[in-house]
Amino acid sequence: MEVILIKDVAKLGYKDDIVVVKNGYANNYLIPQGYAILATPSMKKVRAENLRQRAFKEEKLRKDAEELAAKLNGLVVKIAAKAGTSGKIFGSVNNIQIADALKEQHSIEIDRKKISILGEAIKEIGQHKAQVDLHRDVKAEITLDVYAE
């Protein structure tokens, strides 16, 4: 079933994308939750017109995202975590802690939902990588320096 996404959906697509999903996923989750609408011919025309009108606004958003990505790429964020003597962290470092550390240390405010940890969950002291999705085409990579409190 073809649907037009109304909002960004993780691991599926971005707003105004036309995606093909299984009927049950569309009827039972995407449409009732307000994430998508059916991709009828009339809705496709409306989508095309909206995309034309929004094209110049998107370019400005993309430029802003590229400027922010230039600041973020290679940035080192230090995160304190309680750890045992073997270097294992009690719990794990999550994207909320990363967003808070970015705000405190570098005065850059980023939505926690746009931060994803590369690889497995951070459960040890050391350096790790995280990715920040700033725009559908612009992504930045930051280095996390996790140390024991």
Confidence of residue 146 (pLDDT cuts 50, 70, 90): very high
Q: What percent of the chain has pLDDT above 70?
A: 100
Calpha distance 10→8 (Å, rounded): 7
Domain spans in the chain, listed from the N-terminal domain onward? 2-59, 69-148
Q: Is the pTM of this model over 0.85?
A: no
CATH code for residues 2-59: 3.40.5.10
Please state, in angstroms and as integers, the Cα–Cα distance from residue 133 to each residue in 62, 87, 90, 137, following that order.
Answer: 12, 29, 28, 8
Tens of pLDDT, residue by residue over 74-100, are 889 999 999 988 889 998 899 999 999
- Residue with token string 């991709």: 39
- Residue with token string 């808070």: 100
pLDDT score recorded for residue 54: 83
Q: Which of 99, 149, 143, 89 is nearest to 121 (CA)?
A: 89
- Residue with token string 């719990």: 91
Pairs from 22-27 (Cβ < 8 Å, separation ≥ 24) = 26/1, 27/1
pLDDT score recorded for residue 1: 94
- Residue predicted with more confidence, 100 or 54: 100
Query: Phi, psi at residue 49, to the nearest 5°?
Result: -65, -40
- What is the mean predicted confidence (pLDDT) over 46-55? 87
Neighbouring CB atoms inside 10 A of 148's CB total 12
Please, which residues have CB within 8 angstroms of residue 126's CB and are 6 or more apart in sequence?
87, 146
As beta bridge partners, residue 127 has 145
CATH topology of domain 69-148: Ribosomal Protein L9; domain 2 (3.10.430)
pLDDT over threshold 90, residue 137: no
